[in-house]
Amino acid sequence: MWWFYRKGPSGFSGASTAEEVTAGVDGRGLVAVVTGASSGIGLETARVLAMRGVHVVMAVRNVSAGVAAKEAIAAKIPGARMDVLELDLSSMASVRRFASEFESLNLPLNILINNAGVMTRHCKLSCDGLELHFATNHIGHFLLTNLLLENMKSSCRDSGVEGRIINLTSSGHFMTYPEGICFNKIHDPSGLNDFIAYGQSKLANILHSNKLSRILKEEGVNISANAVHPGVIRTNLFRNRTIVSVLLDTIGRIISRSVEQGAATTCYVAMHPQVKGISGKYFANCNIGSPSSQASDAELAKKLWQFSLQTVS
């Protein structure tokens, strides 16, 4: 476990917590959207951002759970500014409603954290006819980012503050379909197992970040886009994975980390001054890491971007 505690160039490690990596960072005046903010590392991310003065909009599928989470945070952080809005990332209609409701709040947007994710036992179809992992983990966030991007652009121009987009993913060397992403299986997932489907959706998160970063740089926009691997954490993501849950219970003390540690890299990339101007990177353990060759494939990222645009339109 020595590697877990070894600090990288940032001065932090896999053992660092979200509170530690944001100590002394002033987030007052900033607004952040955090998807999946009612539990797990999404909740911890929202809590720590609110603690640092950020106005947090909690995008949640279960509104009652979101409200309860908001109240729990507010009870410990007097003056915390938080809103709760409904968002089901597996439904493009829900994503569009959320974007409309967010705009009605008349808030700027400085930080977008695409945190929510799903892992199911079987490759199912979403209400839009897409493989559920891909629909929720990638397409929902892809559409959400596109719908909120003009607000972010206006916000960074008006404030002079860099906008930051963070996509949560898995290990940069996560095993995926040999061809990277099997696009013909997005509408017909037969032949895919759930682990491959989940791996494809997480690979898509990194490719999305990379392509978006290139586009923003070409436009000369002061917005960064990065991918973050939170590490292995026992969260609700595994609630439908009985075998995985048992394995994590068994070896969790060796390979898993706490929710506070799991949210650290996200909060670091979202707020720390060290990350200013850094875009198109993959972060793990609060430091820049190296993803797989597939995750760095510019042609695959371009293909995914075009496919995603066609899908959401």
pLDDT tens digits, one per residue of 131-140 = 999 999 999 9
DSSP, collapsed to helix, strand or coil, labels residue 84 as: strand
DSSP, collapsed to helix, strand or coil, labels residue 163 as: strand
Band of residue 293 on the pLDDT scale cut at 50, 70, 90: confident
Exposed/middle/buried for residue 78 (C-beta within 10 Å: 0-12, 13-18, 19+): exposed
Residue 232 makes CB contacts below 8 A (sequence gap 6+) with: 248, 255, 256, 257
Q: What is the pLDDT of residues 92-148, one digit of tens each?
A: 999 999 999 999 999 999 999 999 999 988 889 999 999 999 999 999 999 999 999
Helix axes 92-104 and 140-159, enclosed angle (nearest 10) = 20
Of 58-72, 223-237, 281-295, give the lowest mean pLDDT range: 223-237
Q: How far apart are CA 56 and CA 28, in angstroms?
A: 11
pLDDT at 86: 98
Q: Is 277 left (phi over 0), alpha (psi -120 to 50) or beta?
A: left
Q: How far apart are CA 127 and CA 123, in angstroms?
A: 13
**pLDDT beyond 90 at 74:** yes
Please determine, looking at this structure, whether the domain spanning 2-308 carries the CATH number 3.40.50.720.
yes
**pLDDT beyond 70 at 34:** yes
Catalytic residue among 5, 177, 198, 268: 198
Residue 174 makes CB contacts below 8 A (sequence gap 6+) with: 199, 202, 203, 292
Q: How far apart are CA 196 and CA 205, in angstroms?
A: 14
Q: Which helix (H) or strand (E) element contains residue 25?
A: none
| Residue 177 designated active-site | no
**pLDDT beyond 90 at 61:** yes
DSSP, collapsed to helix, strand or coil, labels residue 153 as: helix
pTM for this one?
0.92
- Annotated domain spans of the chain: 2-308
- Nearest Cα residue to 160 out of 23, 275, 274, 276: 276
Average pLDDT over residues 29-50: 97
Task: Provide the residue count of the chain.
Answer: 313
Band of residue 177 on the pLDDT scale cut at 50, 70, 90: low
Band of residue 175 on the pLDDT scale cut at 50, 70, 90: very low
**pLDDT beyond 70 at 179:** no
The DSSP secondary-structure symbol of 138 reads I
- Nearest Cα residue to 168 out of 74, 2, 40: 40
**pLDDT beyond 70 at 241:** no
Please report the sign of the dihedral spanned by the C-alpha atoms of residue 256, residue 259, residue 261, residue 263.
positive
Band of residue 257 on the pLDDT scale cut at 50, 70, 90: confident
